[in-house]
Amino acid sequence: MNVLQKAAACCVKTIPRNVLLRHSSHFVYQPDAKPPVEGPTQKMNMFQAINQAMDIALEQNESALVFGEDVAFGGVFRCSMGLQKKYGKSRVFNTPLCEQGIAGFAIGVANTGAKAIAEMQFADYIFPAFDQIVNEAAKYRYRSGNLYDCGSLTFRAPCGAVGHGACYHSQSPEAYFAHTPGLKVVVPRGPNKAKGLLLACVKDNDPCIVFEPKTLYRAAVEEVPVAAFESPIGKADVLRTGTDITLIGWGTQIHVLQEVAGMAKQQFDVSCEVIDLVSILPWDKETICNSVKKTGRALIAHEAPLTNGFGAELAATIQEECFLHLESPVLRVTGWDTPFPHVFEPFYIPDKHRCLAGIRKLIDY
């Protein structure tokens, strides 16, 4: 045995079997308790559910197109895998590396009545297309006096922390687009929501953006109905009922909050109501406000930076609508007002420890 082999053997021997090692994921995935509709189901991860949704859209609509950077071979996250082989190069195809061009082409296609499903390879790179989406797609119906619209246009964009993405592959830009009348913006928490929301967006009368938390593509696994179904846009989901505090999040963060709710009950005997906002624009004001009026406290958590994150809109509305019911100020637990870091990602994200500390702060107020 040489020196390197001896060193490796020593290292292996010094790690006890019962020691917990750190993993890149900052959350424990919580699958939905039951499928959203009755019927046969299939075990899928999130990218498989998205693939099936696009398959259904292409099958049901002869005009439907899927396009974007590298989608022909399946895309970097494999969401469009096998679709070009099944539907041909004229319906599933690659585009140049030009997000503005992708969006502009998508708008033109949608205005002819075709179902356009355009992929932005990463949400971080959607900004070159910002003008096309915000000033063209969102306003087409209004400025044409309802003669034309982009109602058959859906953008897909992988977003959020992934453990190693750093500043150009980890951002959550939903708040930028939530300030734009004419758009709809949704964020799925897992395979069932991803499939249902994508199919709902494809059929919607307004242009839609689906921000897909990329860390969930493989980590999220559920029993998903094989048949087509739609999840309502603009409707939040109450995942856990409680009486003491309302926890609000979306995407990956909702799994952090579900774990935190269990920790709060065990450590503080605090009953948490957990709500997945699901839809950023429009958002479910009624469900949120009814919950906060019942619990008297609200904690909002998201990965995007604090300042002008979408949590600020929720907090302002809760303050306006629920002021006389509040037992403490509305608290936001978010990413910091810095570029998204690489090696310091664990300190940036609003993990369970920061969220649990926030709950304690609200209860002790």
In 340-356, which positions are buried (b, 16+ CB within 10 angstroms) versus exposed (e)?
A: bbeeebeebbbbbeebb
DSSP type of residue 135: I
Cis peptide bond upstream of 158, omega within 30: no
With 0-12 / 13-18 / 19 or more C-beta atoms within 10 angstroms meaning exposed / middle / buried, residue 24 is exposed
Laid out side by side, the sheet with 272-276 consists of 237-240, 272-276, 245-249, 298-305, 331-335
From the list 99, 222, 259, 273, the catalytic residue is 99
Spot the catalytic one: 26, 69, 136, 169: 169
- Do residues 340 and 315 lie in contact, with contact meaning Cβ atoms separated by under 8 Å? no
Which residues, including other chains, have CB under 8 Å from residue 202's CB and lie 6 or more apart?
A: 53, 57, 61, 64, 115, 117, 152, 154
Distances (CA, A) of 239 to 65, 189, 272: 34, 11, 10
Angle of helix 191-203 relative to helix 46-60, nearest 10 degrees, comes to: 30
What values do phi and psi take at 73, rounded to 5? -95, 0
Residue pair 185/281 in contact (Cβ under 8 Å)? The answer is: yes
Please name the residue that has the structure tokens 């390879």: 121
Q: Is 169 a catalytic residue?
A: yes
Which are the contacts of 348, defined by CB distance < 8 A and separation ≥ 6?
Answer: 161, 335, 336, 338, 340, 341
What are the two backbone dihedrals, phi and then psi, of residue 115, each rounded to the nearest 5 degrees?
-85, 110
User: Catalytic site residues?
Assistant: 99, 169
